Structure 1
Amino acid sequence: MSKSLDLAEGAAPDRPERHHSLRAAFTSSWGLLTPGEQRALARLSVFRGGFERPAGSQVGGAPLRTLLGLADHSLLRRDREGRFALHEVVRQYAAEALGMDPAEFGAASRAHAAHFLALAEEAAPELLGPEQARWLERLSTEHDNLRAALAWLLERRDAGAALRLAAALHWFWYVRGHHREGLALLEAALALPRVSGAARELGEYPAARARLDEALLLSQGAGARTQEAKVLHALGLNSRGLGGLEEAQAFLTRAEAIQREVGDRWGLSTSLNDLGITWLLRGEGARPPSLRGEPGPQGGHRGPARGGLRPRQPGERLG
């Protein structure tokens, strides 16, 4: 790897003088590094937008001492929160060096994808809990790394890992408004059932319905009751978006029944919320769902205490 930059330089003699000057400065710094530091710097080039120290150790094989040594050579910077980052020019040159060793490039890329898949799957349940804001911020900080990890998995055609990562990021994409990007990545990852949510947010209701119908059959065939309820809930929202309120209520009621059966409290709370909205949209004559006193996703209660507000009943006048 120590000769990689010389080889890359010789392959492009027609680059601008400024580029040669930058490369000369980097090559000089590269030559002052130990072989271990060169290997670590090259592997760290797979990161995008910086990284935390544990990630640097896991992916780059770089303990804190090595990271601080690279910072002393001005090849790595560290912010006040302790997060490390490579200047983009340094990262590109280090990536060239890494690319000259396909085995090392593959190992670093696999470690990077594995690290951020684990992070996304750790975050997924937390995004539905009281620590949602903190985890949303953490995923936002690592968004470029998550994109890079998913892009590498898609390029490698690792459908299993790509689908797992895309599914784990679904709620992050939804809450932060990355609908179009999420839709494109989910479709590339073989269109998980949750892709329909992104399509629905973009107003592509027919496309969402087609995917959801297929997803419902798959979840039912696999006996995946929790996922089946999620698909039924999404079908209800899709039908409501198309104005099919009666069909929407039927789908949501089926989702509610399964969520009660499997004990999915978060899913139940969202289905009851959307059942209530659908009931209100249907107006007079529609039978209201039992919304009072239902448990919320964290074990609280969504319904009002005695004397609190409640949905207005059909025909009831405001007093």
Structure 2
Amino acid sequence: LAVFRGGCNRESARAVTGATLPLLAGLIDKSLVRRRQATAVARYELHEVVRQFATEKRQAERPASDSNGIPTSGLAQDDAWLAHYAYFYQLAATAKQNLHGNEQLHWMLVLDEEYANLRAALDRCLRTKDFARGLQLALLLDEYWYTRGYHGEGLQRLLTFLQANTISLPALAVANGYAAAAILAIAGGNYMAARTYLEQAVTPLRQQGKQVSLARALRYYGLIALHEADYPAAEAYIAEAVQLADAVHNPYEAATSLSHLAEIALIQQEHGRAQELGEQAVQMLRTIADKNQLAGSLRRLAQAELHQGQLAAARRNALESLLLNNEVGDPRGVAASTVMLATILAADAAWPAVAQLLGAAATLLTQAQATLLPADQLVHDETWGRLTTAWPMFQSHFDAGRQALADRRTPPYDLEWMQVLVEN
């Protein structure tokens, strides 16, 4: 049981260690294990002193280094850690398969609960120089890292495995790894690094005919071009991504790319086209029940509707976007939706509410160490300019908004006060 971090449930205890329920009950009776039940599934955890003792004993029996101090190679040297890795690899693989459908929230919460164990598995792969297993597990967590705002951690872990010994790693895994690193770098605002990573991903993906992965990588190239205000290049990359996704019948990738095309149209003030693209994306995402990406597409649609004078629809879609982002736990998405709502309220000159919402968004972005996407940043800057010009006394309300979310660093946030501001 010492291989677990953050505890285990009955299923993982049996799968990894062979521990039965009577055995766990006996350990509880002896005060070696504690049982806690914050959710429907009970978790079991060694008391920390016991865990440290057990860990030291295992290390003495199975040293991590040979007599010359050279680390042993790979998890295969340790049956318990290999079983731990195998269990949590399969859990992460199942989660990834379900992150674009109606089970999305459930599996995000499963990954939340087991994240300490997933981190432990990654750390062990690094310590034992088992880079191939480490990279394969990291690739299953890229979307989780992106959604939860763990951009820096995810990027660092991916690069550690990719750059440790790429010669021995499968070429496709390396290509997918650099593509995953690219979107995490983009989320952190490091577009130059993202381009470098993509240069190591696109050619192998083309050569191996991996259409979905290639569509994703081209979409990332489009986001970089969008940031650089090279709109023709951005549209070309993302349009090709749509074609590839349609060809292999992948509605998630197609809808995500359509939403980015709507973003480009908005920046170029093609509001009618942006609304049409946004509506297509929203319809597709509602069909597959992907709440996370649906939230982003709703925000883009709300922005187009606002420019078309459809304030009620814009408010409704932006509010739904906010609540969905909060439900799936995307802090950057919550911030962007908050900015969108502030912009909608600015149309009614509701400056105190606008200031509070922009303050809350600033706190969210600071906590997540994230930047807004170009279209969202443009909306923010325009609304900020209007606020500071029209209502110079904004500072106290802005500070109140910043403070409103300061005590909660991760989603879900208490957003009831925002709903009251918007609905009133």
Q: TM-score, normalised by structure 2?
A: 0.59
Displacement of 1:216 in angstroms is 0.6
1:85 paired residue number: 45
The match for 2:257 among 255, 266, 271 is 271
Question: 1:115, 1:152 → 2: CA distance?
Answer: 14
CA-to-aligned-CA distance 1:126-178 (integer Å, 9 cap, x gap):
12212222211111111110001011122333333222211111111111111
Matching of residues 131-146 of structure 1 within 5 Å: 131-146=103-118
CA-to-aligned-CA distance 1:199-243 (integer Å, 9 cap, x gap):
111111111001112211110111111110010011111221222
Matching of residues 15-30 of structure 1 within 5 Å: none
1:73 paired residue number: 30
Question: 2:280, 2:250 → 1: CA distance?
Answer: 16
Task: Identify the structure with the greater helix proportion.
Answer: 2
- Cα distance change, pair 268–184 in 1 and its aligned pair in 2 (3 A): same
Matching of residues 1-319 of structure 1 within 5 Å: 44-80=1-37, 81-102=41-62, 106-190=78-162, 191-283=177-269, 291=277, 292-293=279-280, 295-297=283-285, 299=287, 311=304, 318=309
Question: 1:260, 1:288 → 2: CA distance?
Answer: 19
Question: 2:77, 2:15 → 1: CA distance?
Answer: 14
Q: Is the 8 A contact 2:255 2:280 kept in 1?
A: no
- Cα distance change, pair 317–179 in 1 and its aligned pair in 2 (3 A): closer
Q: Is the 8 A contact 1:150 1:166 kept in 2?
A: yes
Q: Is the 8 A contact 1:51 1:83 kept in 2?
A: yes
Bigger CA radius of gyration: 1
Q: Is the 8 A contact 2:138 2:157 kept in 1?
A: yes
Task: State the one-letter code of the partner of 2:49.
Answer: V
- Cα distance change, pair 284–193 in 1 and its aligned pair in 2 (3 A): closer
Q: Is the 8 A contact 2:265 2:271 kept in 1?
A: no
2:323 paired residue number: none
Q: Answer with 245-254 or 256-265: which moved more.
A: 245-254
Q: Is the 8 A contact 2:14 2:20 kept in 1?
A: yes
Question: 1:298, 1:101 → 2: CA distance?
Answer: 54
Task: State the one-letter code of the partner of 2:92.
Answer: A
CA-to-aligned-CA distance 1:92-119 (integer Å, 9 cap, x gap):
0011111122189711111111111110
Q: Is the 8 A contact 1:116 1:145 kept in 2?
A: yes
Which consecutive aligned stretches of 4+ in structure 1 deviate over 4 angstroms post-superposition?
284-290, 292-295, 308-312, 316-319
Displacement of 1:125 in angstroms is 2.1
CA-to-aligned-CA distance 1:37-70 (integer Å, 9 cap, x gap):
xxxxxxx101000101111111122111111111
Q: Is the 8 A contact 1:249 1:279 kept in 2?
A: no
Displacement of 1:283 in angstroms is 2.5
- Cα distance change, pair 300–225 in 1 and its aligned pair in 2 (3 A): closer
Question: 1:96, 1:225 → 2: CA distance?
Answer: 47
Question: 1:87, 1:285 → 2: CA distance?
Answer: 59
Displacement of 1:78 in angstroms is 0.8
1:30 paired residue number: none
2:390 paired residue number: none
Question: 2:23, 2:271 → 1: CA distance?
Answer: 71
Task: State the one-letter code of the partner of 2:28.
Answer: A
Which structure 1 segments of 5+ residues have no match? 1-43, 303-307
Displacement of 1:272 in angstroms is 0.4
Task: State the one-letter code of the partner of 1:97.
Answer: K
Q: Answer with 262-271 or 158-167: which moved more.
A: 158-167
- Cα distance change, pair 173–285 in 1 and its aligned pair in 2 (3 A): closer
Q: Is the 8 A contact 1:129 1:298 kept in 2?
A: no
Task: State the one-letter code of the partner of 2:212.
Answer: T
- Secondary structure, counterpart of 2:149 in structure 1: coil
Question: 1:129, 1:148 → 2: CA distance?
Answer: 28
- Secondary structure, counterpart of 1:78 in structure 2: strand
**Same amino acid, percent of matched pairs:** 34
1:21 paired residue number: none
Question: 2:180, 2:254 → 1: CA distance?
Answer: 17
Q: TM-score, normalised by structure 1?
A: 0.77
